[in-house]
Each structure stands twice: as C-alpha cells, then as structure tokens.
Chain A
Amino acid sequence: MRSEVNNMERRTFCALLVLTTTAFVAAPLSADDPDNCLLCHGFRGLGRIDNETQKIHAFYVDPDYSHLRRGPHARLACTDCHKRSEVSVVPHQPVTHVDCARQCHLSNPNGIDRRFSHDPIQSMLADSTHTLDTLAKLDFRGGPILDKDQSACLYCHDEPYFRLPLDVAPQLAAVTQRGIDRCNVCHAETVPIDIEYDLNHVLARLQPSRSPLEIAQTCAVCHSDPKVTAEHDMSDAVASYVRSFHGKATLLGEHQTADCLSCHVKTGENAHLMLGKSDPQSSVFVANIANSCRSTQCHPGADPAFATAAVHLDLPTAHGSIEYALAAIFIFLTIFTFGPSALLVILDLLQIIVGRTHHPSHRIEKLAKDLMASAEGRKRLKRFTISQRFQHWCLSILFVALVLTGFPMKFADRAWASMLVNMFGGLSTARNIHHWSGILLFVGFSFHVFQVVVSSLRTARAPGPDGQPMGLVKAWLSMPMWISPQDVRKTMQLFAHLLFLRKERPTFGRFSPAEKFEYLGVFWGTMLLGLTGMLLWGEQYASHFLTGKTFNLATIAHTFEAFLAVIHVGILHIYNVIFAPKVFPLSPATITGNTPIEKLVEEHSEFVEDAAMHMGKHLKADPTA
C-alpha cells in the first residue's frame, strides 16, 4: 500500500515537473487565435461605459490565456463560442449570448479534428437538484444576475483556468523546459500530441478546478442570497459552512479542507449530478452522510457515528439545541467569572483616580523591612519559587503560541487572521504549532499536578499539631491555592472597601483570593482545553467511543474556554503584572519571585506576619493601625 502511494506520488511528481514549465514554453503546436481577434481584444482599454445603464462593456480578453495555454478553452477559436456571422465583420453585429452547450471544434496537433460539446454535462443537470428550470426561476435580492438568454452555466462557471497543484509541491516551480523536451522527443513529430496542454489538462483535474474558497463563493451566489434562500425555504448554508471547522480553514486559505462539493457530490460523480439532501441517492441524505464523511480523502478511520456531528452548525439559528445551551452556559460563566475580576480592577483604579490612599500598617511595614534585612527573611518572603517561576514562563510562552495559532481559526473571517496564519507559513504549519504547543502545555501541566500530589502526600504523612499524620484528604484540602470561606469573606470586604463602604482594606496571606482564582482558572482551563483539543485532534479515533455531537460540544467548549482564558489573561492578568501602577513596567515577582515591599505590606500582610512568626520575630501591635 505504502509503495503504491509512493509510486503515485512519484508519478505525480514527474508530471508536475513538466507541468510547472507552463509559464515559459515553446511555441504551441497549433495556431493561437486563428481569427486574429486578439489584435484588438488583447487591449485592456477596448471597451466602453454605457451612458444609460452605467454598465461597463469590457471587450478585453487576456491574450496570454491562449498564448500560454492557461486553460482548457485555450485551444478554441473565439468563433467556436461566438457566432462567426456576428463577429467576423467589424464593427461586430449585435452579439447574442453564448450557448455553452454548442458544439465546438477541437483541432489536435496530429491533424485530427474533433467535435466537442458540453451538452451531455448540461443534460446531467436535468436529473440534479439544480435543474435548468430551477436555475431559470432564481430571483435574487439585487435583481437578475444573468441576462435573459444567457447560459445558466455562468451562475457557476467563468473562463476555466488550469489550477495546477503547485500548492501541494511548490518547489516544482523551479523546474525548466526539460520535462517537455523529453516528451517531445517522440510526441513532437512521431506521435504528435500537445504535451504541455494535455499534461496541464490532466494534472489540473487531479484536484478541483477551484479552491475551496472559490467554491464557497460560487455556491454563495445563490445559497447566501436572502431572497433565493427564503423562496426555497433554505438556511444560509454558506454562512453556517464558514463557521464550521472546514469553512474556517477555507477562509484562511487552506486548500486541502472539505468544501461544499466534498460532501455534496457523491464519490465517482460530479457536481452536475448533485442531489438535494432529501433524495435517498444524495451524498448528504441522512443514511449516506457517514459514507461521505468517511471517504478515503476525509475521515476514513472514523466511526459511522462521527457523521452525527452537525457540519452546518450556526449557533444563532440553533435555538433549543444542546450546543446552543452549552454556548449559553459558557457565556454565562465567562460573564460571571471575568466580570467580578474586571470590576475589582476597575474599582482599584478608581481609588487612584479619586485620590483615595490607603496607608498600610507601619508595624507590618517595619516588620517586612526587618525580615528583608536577613537572608532567611528574604527567603521566607519570596512568594514564588524558581520552579514556579519556570513553570509560569513556560506557560506564558506556550499560551502565546496557542493563542496566535488558535485564534485565527476562531476569527477566520477577519483580515488579521489570514495575515497571522500567513506569517506562520499557512494553516497547516500554524495547526502543527498549535498541536505541539498544546502537548507541551499538557506535559507541563502533568508535571505540576505531579508536584501537587507529591506535596499533598508529604503533608499527609507529616505529623500535625497533635502529633498524628494529617491524612490525604485533609492534606489535599489544606493546599494553599484553595479558596477558603475566609477568602470569600475577605473578597467581600475588599469590594466593600473599594465601594467606599468600608474604611479598612483587607489584607491577605501569600496568595490573594484573586490570584487563587486565576490559578484555579488556569488549572480548569488547561484540563478542559487539553482534553477537548486532543479529542478534536484525534477525531477519527475518538469517534469510536463518542458520538458526532460530542465533537460539536468539544469545539464549543474549546473555543469559549479559550476566549475566556484570553480575555482574562489579556486584559486582567496583563494589567496585574505589567500595567498596574504598583508594578509597572513588570512585576519583579515574575522574575525574582519577590513582591515589592509596598505591595507586600498592603496586600499580603498575613504572609509577612507568618514569616515573622516562623522566625520568632514579633513587633508590638501598631496603635495607629
């Protein structure tokens, strides 16, 4: 199997070698432009603006299209499509619209002429959901798109270009004429074939002739038009597509992601045979969706249950669904966790704005200075150990990497998202960085959990004040980062103080409730993001244990939790460690582990007192405090 793949890759590679020479080739074997139309139509300015309709009549046709054989129509004469009687005289007769099903005339270099027509393709539409009758009746919000009698093919097709698969192998662009030269040893005269043209044609068909974005744009002409969708009782399918994982990748320029045709066209058939989802033969009929998802190009290893995932999930139109409920819960959680924290910061800034100053206890200040004078005191007042600081910086770097590579997917329709992804060298690279950053973060998280467990075990085994071991549960609950009832009380006191309802500002131990809250947020967030991220990454494997809907829920959880993390860190944490007036331009605690004495005395006086107690240092109570 593997060798087959290699052989195929090799063959494709060889073909691509030849293909990439198209920009610079020997003179084509058959005559370009036999009617000499490009003598005038090759000028970009050939055209006019209609005074009455203000419509531009542009008669320019890119001469390089035929000179450089840029598409399957390059070997056609203009009069194969346009009626000779109308255009062979100058000024031209009024030109009727081109009938795409008209028979045209292909002249091969071997001298054999063939007749060709798109009529069979057009006939296919009769059995599809896009019948000519349906297309003829389309009523667009902005008025008709095509003129009367203009071919309905133009709803989807413009001049076809060879879309060479250079995005798969861009390095092949450097290959020269030699590939074609080798073929032409035989094919120039002995078995004359227009090698360059034929190879272009065949290889361009190895992939869709349009990128996923262009396909979405094409479908959106009708499927995003409010009048068309209302008349046919359809939702805006393209809007929901671009909010899906595939659609976002499409917006970010990914060429290998699923587009509309990947799902809506049955394997072995073509887009002109597309059927509506209610047709049992359709690739998106409920019984067939699993097969469509599990095609060899997409998710071949997935369980059929994977197909229950909603691909066209647009939350605002999914009222009553479990996905909608989960998103609502996350928004509620975001507002009620981020909101109070933000309020605390704003009220804190308000104290500065109104000039309200809080004078910390002179006793604690003196005690802190006293402690800082000795090595042991400095050690005891260090709030963050080397290991904790190291973990924090690792977390910071990985967090930034995850945000930069993950958020473009969330905001794929913004211009900055594409710019960012391009800076990483494309979505595939950005995605790889995201995955590996996630893995590293999870490894770091596991290390931290290991440290917590070891620390809990040590505390559990150590003799307590009564001389007996504390026990695991008690030790675990006594971990310093838990938010205690006392923390809740003090937080309320802090709010009261900041709202001018209380004179004294409460002070805390080594970690303030806000810091504990942030820590627990990171703990929860890393677990949730890690688990949902791995689930989405290994979707084919995970689908054997979970239903498709789980992936929708995982996506929602992943994206909303990430958003919460970003706004919390990006707005509040950055304020606390960089922009807050007491620490600007950067809190030294992140580097040295030490908090400035002023902040220590004001916010962590209990920590100072604990340290003094352990060192046996006490100062008399401050009568002014």
Chain B
Amino acid sequence: MSKLNPLNLPKTIAWFFRGTWRNAERVIPRAYALALAFVICFLTYQAVSYLIVGLLKPSGSPPQITQLPRRMDATLFEVDRRKWRGLDATANPRTPPSHYHRIGDWIEPDHQSGCTTSGCHSPLPHNERKEVRAFLNMHATSIHCGTCHMKSDRAPLSLTWYNLASGDPQGPPAILQAYDLLTSDEYEKQRNSPDDAFQDKLTSLLRKAAREADNLPALENLADHVNAVRATSDEFKQLLIQARESLPRHFRGEYGAKIAVRGVGGDPVLSHPDTEKLVAQYVSQKDTIKGQDRRDLLNRIHPLRRKSPLDCTECHRKQDGLIDFARMGYPPARANALVDPIVVEMIEHINKGTPFHMPDFIGVEK
C-alpha cells in the first residue's frame, strides 16, 4: 500500500467523487425503475381487487349510514383517555336511540386538568351521592376539581381563572365582562348618550364570549347585530336591553376557562405537584393494587387533597363565602344571584335529600 501523498489528495477526492457519480448513475435509474414498478404493481392490484371484490362481496351500508352512537355510554369518551373529549353529537346527527334531546357539542374537554388527563377521573367525576352528583358535575365544566378538593387555609380562597386551551391564568371570561358592562353604571350612561367605543368594546366581548362558548350562534348573532347598528340609534338602545336580558341565559359554565386554586406566582394549580411517576404507577397497577397499598399510593398521589371536600354552601352564601365571586369578575347582579339565600336553602334541601319545588329565580333577570 503506497503512502498517502498530500499532493495526490485532490486527485483522490476527484477519483472518489467520479466513482461515486458513476455508481449513482447506475443505481439511481434502477432504483427509480424499481419504485415505479412497485407503484404500478400496487395500483394495478388495488384496481383489480376493487373490481373483483366489489362484484363478489356484499359490503353492507357504509359507515356514514351505520356508525352512529346507539347508546350514550362512557366509551364515547374513550378515544383517548389522556385527552377526554366531549361527545360530538353534531358529527353524528342521528341520535334518537342514544338521546332524545339533541345536545350538539357536549361538554368542553379540559386538556389542562391533571385529574382527567391522567386518565384517572372522567370529566363527569361525581357519581356517588344521588342527591348531588349531577349538580356537582354541572360545576365541573367551569370549576377545576382542586377548587373544592385541594387544601387551602385562606378565606376566601385564592383563586384564578385559567384558559382551557393553554392552561395560562387569565381574567374573567368575556361573557362575564360583557354582562358587567351591561349592568354597570356605564350602561345607564350609554343608554342616554351611547358612543362608538362602548359599542366596539361590547361587540368584541360578545364575539369572544361566543368563541369561548363553542361558537354559540346566539351570541355570535347578538355580536353581529350590536356591531351592525349605529351606536347613536334607537336600535342600539333596544339591543342593549335585549343583550342585558339574554346574556344570563348563557351563564352555563361554557366560558373557555375554569376557576382553579391560585398557586405561588399566580399560576393555577391544575394537578398535585410532583406526582407524575406515582400516577403512572397507579395507572399501570390500578386493577391489581388493593387494600392498604392502594390507599397509601392514592394518598401519595393526592398530597394536596382536603380531608373532606368543600360543601356547596361554603361558597354559595353571602356571609364568609369561600369564593369571592365579585373578585373573580362576576358582575354584582350575577354574584348576588349565586349567593342568594334561596340558593342556600335549595342546597340545604339537596344535601338533606328532602324534595323541594324549584323556585323561579336567578336564571333570567326578571
């Protein structure tokens, strides 16, 4: 083997590239031809088998016709337990056997809550006490589990809204801000001498509220209409009245945001800290781990858990309520409605399991 001469290096490199190019010239056309032959064989097979199978084998009705939910059961949630989704009934318009009332898009999934994304708890987690389970689940779309279930020695609780899409802390939902605008002193002023800035602000809040409520058509239309008329017109004044009357109908927990415990630094506490590995361990062993081991593991997974969760009346009451609704951005009218003595009375009935007749109150501003 001859010694490597530095002066020959360019020649060696040139020789190497020439050789490589010569090989490539031979290989590339062959590879191209092979790929083409494969594609043609594949397409031919597909075409011929389509013809033959289509003639010989009855295929039944296609999925568009038959694959509709027959029953609303938990499997509808279980596309991916780590990202619980709401039932998208709009994609499955034929629902009579599953649910008589058309429900459209159902509950909004919370991709931020560690309780559900862990795959441990469903988006409708309460199912034990008949008297309260459905009511508690009703709150689950606007309040994070930790609000009632995590320890906190502060009164009122230190809470924050968090965005369901990003998990970031945010201000009050747009619909609350819009209603605040319509029930504030500013509203009376605007009714007498409205201005464009107010109109723009209201339109923008209504549009945002519609988006946050899963593009709710009623709010979208209201926003369009508010935007379409002149701020100084009588129509605008009429619309203000209408908006003020109709907005409370949409206080249904569809805010694109939830209330959660406010942690250090202002971020929402959406899961128990440093428990990922324990959660993974639990998920992998949940069918086998029993007894004290199970209890111990669950205790370690839930270090912030309250001994007993908050009771409804601890928040829904005027005196010393644990949620300061006004601070959370609820307009006074709405905040007062939520802590109305009738509500407290109602909750007490529910807790005691004593039947009572539904009072005609807070739903719509009378």
> What residues of chain A have their CB less than 8 Å away from a CB belonging to chain B?
23-24, 26-27, 33, 35-40, 42-51, 53-65, 67-68, 88-91, 93, 98, 142, 145-146, 154-159, 161, 213-214, 216-218, 220-221, 224, 236, 238-239, 242, 251, 314-317, 324, 327-328, 331, 334-335, 338-339, 342, 345-346, 349-350, 352-353, 355, 413, 560, 563, 567, 570-572, 575, 579, 581
Q: A63: nearest residue on chain B (CB-CB)? A: B249
Interface check B358, CB cutoff 8 A: yes
Contact A238 B55 (CB under 8 A): no
Question: What are 15 sample pairs from A and B whose C-beta atoms fall under 8 A apart?
Answer: A24-B225, A40-B135, A43-B138, A43-B141, A48-B124, A58-B87, A68-B218, A89-B357, A90-B346, A158-B95, A218-B94, A220-B65, A560-B51, A575-B36, A581-B29
Binds A, one of B38-46, B155-163, B204-212, B264-272: B38-46
In Å, the complex CA distance between A202 and B18 comes to: 83
- CB pair A90–B350 under 8 Å, yes or no, is yes
Asked whether, in the complex, the Cβ of A91 is within 8 Å of the Cβ of B36, the reply is no
B30 at the interface (CB under 8 A from A): yes
Query: B58, B86, B353: which contacts A317 (Cβ < 8 A)?
Result: B58
Instruction: Name the distance in Å between B137's Cβ and chain A's nearest Cβ.
Output: 5
Query: Closest B-chain residue to A584, C-beta based?
Result: B32
Question: B4 interface residue, CB < 8 Å from A?
Answer: no
> Which of B43, B51, B245 is in CB contact (< 8 Å) with A27?
B245
Within the assembled complex, what's the spacing in Å between the Cα atoms of A220 and B57? 19
**What is the 8 Å Cβ interface bit string for chain B, positions 68-90, against chain A (1 contact, 0 not)?**
10111111110000000011000
Chain A residues closer than 8 Å to B252, beta-carbon distance: 42-44, 63
Partner pick for A349 among B37, B95, B106, B249, CB 8 A cutoff = B37
Closest CB in chain A relative to B68 CB, distance in Å = 6
Q: Are A44 and B218 in contact (CB under 8 A)?
A: no
Q: Is the CB of A60 within 8 A of B101?
A: yes
Q: Are B100 and A159 neighbours in the complex by a CB distance under 8 Å? A: yes
Contacts of A88 in B (CB 8 A): 357-358
Q: Is the CB of A46 within 8 A of B245?
A: no
B6 at the interface (CB under 8 A from A): no
Chain B residues with Cβ under 8 A from A317's Cβ?
58
Q: Any chain A CB within 8 A of the CB of B184?
A: no
Contact between chains at A316 and B59 (CB < 8 Å): yes
Q: Are A45 and B41 in contact (CB under 8 A)?
A: no
CA distance A328 to B357 in the complex (A): 71
Residues in B213-228 with C-beta less than 8 Å from chain A: 216-218, 221-222, 224-225
- Please tell me if the beta carbons of A49 and B55 are within 8 angstroms of each other in the complex: no
B interface, how many residues as a size bin? Answer: 35 or more
How distant is A550 from chain B, measured CB to nearest CB, in Å?
A: 20
Q: How far is the CB of B113 from chain A (nearest CB, A)?
A: 13
Instruction: Give the nearest-CB partner of B50 in chain A.
Output: A563
List 7 extra interface pairs beyond A54-B74, A60-B101, CB under 8 A.
Answer: A39-B363, A43-B138, A44-B103, A64-B216, A214-B93, A352-B29, A352-B33
Name the B residues within 8 Å of A331 (CB-CB): 51-52, 55
**Contact assessment for B66 and A316 in the assembled complex, using a CB-CB cutoff below 8 Å:** no
Interchain nearest-CB distance for B239 vs A (Å): 10
Complex CA gap A328/B134 in Å reads: 60
Task: Judge if B131 is at the interface, Cβ distance under 8 Å.
Answer: yes
Contact A45 B34 (CB under 8 A): no
Which A residues are CB-close (under 8 A) to B306? none
User: Is the pair B106, A58 in contact by a Cβ cutoff of 8 Å?
Assistant: yes
Given the complex of chains A and B, what is the CA–CA distance between A217 and B93 in angstroms?
9
Q: Which of B89-112 contact A (CB under 8 A)?
A: 93-97, 99-104, 106-108
- Chain A residues positioned under 8 Å from B356 (CB to CB): 89-90
Contact partner, A242, options B40, B62, B126, Cβ 8 Å: B62
**B residues with CB within 8 A of A:** 26, 29-30, 32-34, 36-37, 40-41, 43-44, 47-48, 51-52, 54-66, 68, 70-77, 86-87, 93-97, 99-104, 106-108, 122-124, 126-127, 130-131, 133-135, 137-141, 216-218, 221-222, 224-225, 242, 245-246, 249, 252-254, 346, 349-350, 353, 355-363
For the complex of A and B, the 4 pairs showing the least CB-CB separation, nearest first, are A89-B355, A413-B62, A352-B33, A158-B96
* Complex Cα gap A39–B359 (Å): 10
Nearest residue, chain B, Cβ from A73: B101
* Closest chain B residue to A52, Cβ basis: B127
A48 partner residues in chain B, CB cutoff 8 A: 124, 126-127, 133-134, 137
| CB of A424, distance to nearest CB on chain B (Å) | 19
Complex CA–CA separation, A55 to B123 (angstroms): 14
Would you call B225 and A239 a contact (CB within 8 A)? no
Q: How far is B20's CA from A442's CA once the two chains are assembled, in angstroms?
A: 54
Alpha-carbon distance between A142 and B72 when the two chains are bound, in angstroms:
14
Bound form: Cα–Cα A380–B94 in Å: 67
For A413, list chain B residues within 8 Å (CB).
62-64
Interface centre among A45, A98, A328, A338 (most CB of B within 10 A): A45
CB neighbours of B93 from chain A (8 A): 214, 217
A335 to B350, CA, bound (A): 74
Quick one: which of A26, A224, A575 contacts B40, CB cutoff 8 A? A575
Q: A39-B362, A89-B355, A346-B37 are in contact. Are A45 and B62 (CB under 8 A)?
A: no
Chain A contacts for B140, CB-based, 8 A:
45
Which of B77, B221, B350 is packed against the most chain A CB atoms within 10 Å? Answer: B221
Is B137 touching A64 in the complex (CB atoms < 8 A)?
no
B134, A59: Cβ atoms closer than 8 Å:
yes
Instruction: Check if B353 sits within 8 Å of A145, measured CB to CB.
Output: no
Asked whether, in the complex, the Cβ of B218 is within 8 Å of the Cβ of A571, the reply is no
Given known pairs A89-B357, A353-B37, the reply for A55 and B73 (CB within 8 Å) is yes
CB distance from B76 to the nearest CB of A (A): 7
Determine the distance from Cα of A417 to Cα of B170 in the docked complex, in whole angstroms.
43
Cβ contacts under 8 Å, B107 to chain A: 44-45
Task: Determine the residue in chain B with the shortest Cβ distance to A566.
Answer: B47
Task: With both chains docked as a complex, state the minimum distance between the C-beta of A568 and any C-beta of chain B, in angstroms.
Answer: 10
B360/A159 in contact, CB under 8 A: no
A4 CA / B156 CA spacing, docked (Å)? 72
Name the CB-closest residue of B to A335: B48
Residues of A within 8 A of B97 (CB): 145-146, 154-155, 221
Known A154-B96, A315-B55: A44·B141 in contact at CB below 8 Å: yes
In angstroms, how far is the closest chain B Cβ from the Cβ of A201? 17
Looking at the complex, which one of B72, B101, B225, B350 makes contact with A159 (CB distance below 8 Å)? Answer: B101
Q: How far is the CA of A339 from the CA of B43 in the complex (A)?
A: 12
CB distance from A623 to the nearest CB of B (A): 30
Within 8 Å CB of A349, what residues of B?
33-34, 36-37, 40
Selected contact of A90 from candidates B73, B95, B221, B355, CB within 8 Å:
B355
Smallest CB-CB separation from A314: which chain B residue?
A: B58
Contacts of A218 in B (CB 8 A): 94, 96
What's the Cα separation between A218 and B97 when bound, in Å?
10
Min Cβ gap A64→B in Å is 6
Expressed in whole angstroms, the Cα–Cα distance for A37 and B359 within the complex equals: 10
With A45-B124, A53-B73, A68-B218 as known contacts, state yes or no: A157 contacts B96, CB within 8 Å.
yes
> In the complex, which residues of chain B have a beta carbon less than 8 angstroms from the beta carbon of A324?
55
**Is the CB–CB distance between B55 and A328 below 8 Å?**
yes
A24 with B221, Cβ < 8 A, contacts A47-B124, A90-B349, A353-B33 known: yes
